[in-house]
Structure 1
């Protein structure tokens, strides 16, 4: 069923292949699965910050979603927000636009 919520895939806020490789390398060195991570390394934080967040225009990002956009949802594959680059983007949007961030987490297994 159509929920009336438009989906927009934004590659401009996605990490590059090289930056994503940092996460895979970190997970391998820790002996855990990619989706089992609970945080992002300092190396990754710096790379994503330089790559995406340094030149990020939060107001322009919001405006580019269209006039009727009232809420932004960011979907992560990780179970823990701190392990996903989208949490970094959400923090930036909150800081720049005064947006409220709410994490909707799956129930514990």
Structure 2
């Protein structure tokens, strides 16, 4: 199995779905806590619309809320962003406290064996991990992908 990470900021709807198609993604894992984006520009990744389009493209959808940072953990990053004067969309990296807290409260409690077995049972070959940030290092999906890399899976950022 190959894993990809994908964000939406900075992509048009056409560009976004073309990345999935070009990389033959067959399973799309939404790892957001809240599956909506404000405003019309990125409305195509709001849960219902996103699932409809993925189904049309022949891509299976799953929501893995257990990999999403909680509101409490997201607040840690919001404080860091305010200290740095950065908007979420402009962030380049995650704060150290966010990373440490996410690992201890979310990642360490997630059962990757079950997750990987579920993907294998679906005969998944190319799996996308999705959250909104364009830069993967500015998003928790980079932490998840590092864990998968440590388990000897190939990871590529789209």
Normalised by the shorter chain, which TM-score bucket? 0.7 to 0.9
Residue number in structure 2 paired with 1:100: 154
Higher relative contact order (CA 8 A, sep 6+): 2
- Name the CA distance, whole Å, in 2 between partners of 1:37 and 1:30: 9
Q: State the 1:64 CA deviation.
A: 2.5
Q: Is the Cα contact below 8 Å between 1:37 and 1:83 reproduced in 2?
A: yes
Q: Is the Cα contact below 8 Å between 2:93 and 2:138 reproduced in 1?
A: yes
Q: State the 1:66 CA deviation.
A: 5.5
- Name the CA distance, whole Å, in 2 between partners of 1:15 and 1:77: 13
Moved over 3 A (4+): none
Normalized per residue, the structure richer in strand is 2
Residue number in structure 1 paired with 2:91: 37
5 Å-filtered alignment, 1:38-53, equals: 38-53=92-107
TM-score normalised over the length of structure 1:
0.85
- Name the CA distance, whole Å, in 2 between partners of 1:101 and 1:27: 27
Q: Is the Cα contact below 8 Å between 2:93 and 2:139 reproduced in 1?
A: yes
Measured on the aligned residues, the alpha-carbon RMSD in Å equals: 1.5
Residue number in structure 1 paired with 2:64: 10
| Structure 1: runs of 5+ lacking an equivalent | 105-109
Match of 2:73, SS state, is: helix
